[in-house]
Amino acid sequence: MRSSSFFLAASLLAASLLSSAACSNGDGGGSSCKDYEPPASFDAQNPKVTLSNDVMPIFKQSCAFTACHGLQGSSNGVYLGQDQGQVHQNLVGVAAGELPSMSFVKAGDPRNSYLMRKIDASQCTLDAQCVDKSCGESMPRGEPQMPVETRDVIRRWIAQGAKND
């Protein structure tokens, strides 16, 4: 019985240490937060991507769950569910709740799109500007970061004008 208590305490300590290794809260204390920039070889204009064929399937697979961003009017920020027109309307040119000075998606400018910051896990570099000095967690929350190839599809869509196509 004693060894299981020790194991439980050690597991809790390890989990605590791992969770504290995430992005900083802006206090400058040992942050592991990094600002992501695509490599110089990244071509934002090719291949061509569309919201309907390329981006919506990513949202549906990674974001559009009822507990996340799948319900219109939920308190989980932006809607990324089944209604493409509503998704586009809620993203492009709309101020991000945690960082009102930045749009969720700024057409033509992935670097200044809050959505990209959240999925690139670089939103923590903006903590000082966010409400309550925290831009929150990266997305998808509680899941591994999307592969760079998947994130680049969204990045290209934004760079190519973030059209509702």
pTM of the model: 0.76
Q: Are 61 and 146 in contact (CB under 8 A)?
A: no
What sign for the dihedral angle of Cα 152, 157, 162, 165?
Answer: negative
What CA–CA distance (Å, rounded) separates 39 from 114? Answer: 19
Residues linked to residue 105 through DSSP beta bridges, in sequence order: 92
Give Cα 67 distance to the centre of its chain: 16
Tens of pLDDT along the chain (165 residues) come to: 444 443 333 333 333 333 333 333 333 334 578 999 999 999 999 999 999 999 999 988 876 555 565 556 655 578 677 888 988 999 999 999 999 999 999 999 999 999 999 999 999 999 999 999 999 998 888 889 999 999 999 999 999 999 999
| Residue of 82, 151, 89, 73 lying closest to 118 (CA atoms) | 151
